[in-house]
């Protein structure tokens, strides 16, 4: 993947992203609602090494891409994308931005860039994201770009010592084209 926008580039993670990646992936506020735990430097390095061997297009595999500020080429976040194993025209995504770069519109720009790439170039039929009901920033982001809330799972996931609830959001290619 290589998405170039005015303020951001989205590309594969690289080994020289390590310090910037670890800076936010070691922050418990960032991982609070995610399937990841905080990482130490070694775990972050192993994670990036593992990702550099992956590329878009393998159904069932999460691939993590780097979100880079165009101004200075600095990694400020990442985006995970997975093609469903039994239908690779259906994609799941998740976005993370370093807190120092939140509330600046970078997440929204990145999400719109990824949606355009998936729908227009890759001809994906449907993009979805499952989000913790308490993850208000993520809910706001998804709704700001037009994702539809289509599901509410109640205490469906055992997470951080208790059962949590999730919303499912989705957008279809034909909704994007409207
Ligand atoms: C979810 C997440 C990516 C959202 O990031 P964010 O920084 O809040 O989102 P944005 O960059 O779109 O910022 C939104 C705000 O920035 C404001 N903003 C400031 N400058 C802006 C600019 N130049 N352009 C656009 N918006 C701008 C917007 O007005 C918006 O506020 P509003 O919605 O109240 O109007 C972030 O909270 C995060 O990384 N969370 C932790 C990881 C996580 O849980 N991810 C989801 C599950 S995978």
Whether residue 128 has its Cβ less than 6 Å from ligand 1: no
Q: Ligand 1 centre and the CA of 108: distance in Å?
A: 6
Q: Ligand 1 centre and the CA of 35: distance in Å?
A: 20
| Percent share of the chain, pLDDT over 70 | 100
- Spell out the domains of the chain, with CATH numbers in brackets: 2-126 (3.40.630.30)
Q: Which atom of ligand 1 is found nearest the CA of 77?
A: 39
132-156 pLDDT tens trace: 999 999 999 999 999 999 999 999 9
Dist. CA 34–CA 138, nearest whole Å: 11
pLDDT at 172: 98
What letters, b where the CB count within 10 A reaches 16 and e where it falls short, cover 58-90? Answer: eeeeebbbbbbbeeeeebbbbbbbbbeeeebeb
Q: What is the pTM of this model?
A: 0.95
pLDDT at 136: 97
14-63 pLDDT tens trace: 999 999 999 999 999 999 998 788 999 999 999 999 998 888 889 999 99
């Amino acid at each position: 993947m290589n998405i170039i926008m005015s303020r951001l580039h989205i590309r594969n993670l690289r080994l020289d992203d390590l310090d910037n990646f670890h800076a936010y992936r070691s922050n418990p506020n960032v991982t609070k609602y995610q399937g990841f735990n905080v990482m130490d430097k070694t775990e972050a390095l192993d994670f990036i090494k593992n990702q550099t061997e992956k590329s878009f297009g393998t159904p069932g595999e999460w691939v993590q891409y780097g979100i880079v500020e165009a101004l200075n080429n600095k990694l400020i976040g990442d985006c995970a994308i997975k093609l469903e194993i039994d239908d690779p025209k259906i994609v799941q995504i998740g976005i993370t931005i370093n807190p120092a770069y939140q509330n600046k519109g970078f997440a929204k720009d990145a999400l719109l860039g990824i949606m355009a790439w998936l729908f227009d170039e890759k001809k994906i039929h449907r993009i979805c994201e499952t989000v913790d009901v308490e993850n208000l920033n993520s809910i706001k982001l998804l709704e700001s770009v037009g994702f539809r809330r289509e599901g509410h799972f109640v205490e469906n996931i055992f997470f951080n010592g208790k059962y949590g609830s999730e919303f499912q959001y989705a957008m279809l290619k034909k909704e994007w084209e409207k």
